[in-house]
Structure 1
Amino acid sequence: MLEIERKFLVDSMVFIEGAISKTKIVQGFLNTHPERTVRIRIKGEKGFITVKGISNDSGTTRFEWESEIDIKDAEKLLQLCEKGIIEKTRYLVPIGNHAFEVDIFDGENKGLILAEVELNNENESIQKPNWLGNEVTGDVRYYNSQLSSNPFKTW
């Protein structure tokens, strides 16, 4: 139930060459309280509800609970979400012992490309591909809950 991840900007589209999957994601937030968020997501043909807690000081670790829900329920719940629906395409790119999830954002966040890698512990080392840019782990501007209310295009 703990999510441990690092987040990076992406400098190059070269990652697409190594991608093993591509999935459209649409998501919104029922709640974006600073200490918890409740997200509704449609990922491909599946619906999900996710609750995330506050991050630790480094921004790498936080509580996360997720459950699959009926896609029709997810579509209805998206209509109840706060303003600012996130649209993105996610590419899964294996690098070494990890899989990077690279998101190309659309809509109000068009132009933003982020990569996340999940870890087993905060000190785990990763192989960094040359297309990774600056690390933005812990920078709340890059949290999807913040991108929904303060989109990248407005920065």
Structure 2
Amino acid sequence: MTDDPFAITERPIPLASTVSEVDLRAVLSEQLVRYGRLESEKEQDAKAATAALRQVVLDLLPVVDALERVRLAVGSDRGSDHGSARAVEGVQKMLTRTLTRHGVERMSLVGHPADPDVVDIEEERHEPSEDDGTVLEELVTAYRWSGEVVRRGRVVTSSVHPVPGTD
């Protein structure tokens, strides 16, 4: 095997001096094997590319979170420069739009029942006005990519019963 993607590594189809000397079955069989191998390599390459892209998405989600925390911190500081807050917000929006363009979806969980396939419940709060298990707050945002949850959310849910130790 060579690293040159344009290198010809297979032997060429043998040429016969006359057409009657060519074993068409053998040539067809060899071509079918070659086709199967190429299809398998193509599938493996596609899986590797998808896995690499998934990892890039997972690596960028904490950056989105950090920008959100910085934006909130700069925006809540009374003495801060509002231009800085807008700049951070602009970078955050640009990154979020880029991820959205590539199929990454932020999952809005607040007000919905906590789905154990999507979230980890970090805390329960006594909230008699909400249905039991309703997400009250997102501590970590959940994201979906290509129909798959790529990052689980961490949430606070409601409990219709008093939660021990929270009084």
Coarse TM-score class (shorter-chain normalised): under 0.3
The answer to which structure, 1 or 2, has the higher relative contact order (CA under 8 A, 6+ apart) is 1
Q: How does the TM-score come out when normalised to structure 2?
A: 0.25
Q: Give the number of the structure whose alpha-carbon radius of gyration is greater.
A: 2
Which one has the bigger strand percentage?
Answer: 1
